[in-house]
Amino acid sequence: MSDTLFTKIINREIPADIVYEDDLCLAFKDINPQAPLHILVIPKKPIAMISNATNDDENLLGHLFLKAGDIAKDQGYGEAYRLVVNNGEDAGQTVFHLHIHIIAGRSLKWPPG
């Protein structure tokens, strides 16, 4: 399988505005922000989508969500933010490397479209 766009960002083959990195994950600003804060948190492990994750990924998934909350707080939006995971094309997924959207900084409607 060829590398996804996000694996290329992890490998520094294409640029991104990286805000956080550790052994397990990378976080960078979305190229097409939907709110004043729009960051993507991705695992370094190339899991295509959340439905492909397994029990072996339990700690990794917990890590991603905890870091997403930390990043929202570090960016000044700890009071209110939304975390989104799109799973599959009909749910709006366009990049098939698991990612959590952190969206904040404006009033968000529910339900999403």
The catalytic site residues sit at: 99
Shortest separation between residue 40's beta carbon and ligand AMP, angstroms: 6
Q: Which is nearer to ligand AMP, 28 or 81 (CB)?
A: 28
Contact with ligand AMP (CB under 6 A): which of 47, 86, 102, 103? 86
Contact predicate 63/24, CB 8 Å: yes
Shortest separation between residue 29's beta carbon and ligand AMP, angstroms: 7
3-state secondary structure 22-90: CCCEEEEECCCCCCCEEEEEEECCCCCCHHHCCHHHHHHHHHHHHHHHHHHHHCCCCCCCEEECCCCHH
Which SS3 state, helix, strand or coil, does residue 18 take? Answer: strand
Distance (Å, rounded) from C-alpha 91 to C-alpha 51? 12
Q: Which is nearer to ligand AMP, 12 or 55 (CB)?
A: 12
92 binds ligand AMP (CB under 6 A): yes
Contact with ligand AMP (CB under 6 A): which of 10, 16, 64, 68? 16
Chain positions contacting ligand AMP, by CB under 6 A = 5, 16, 28, 30-32, 40, 86, 92-95
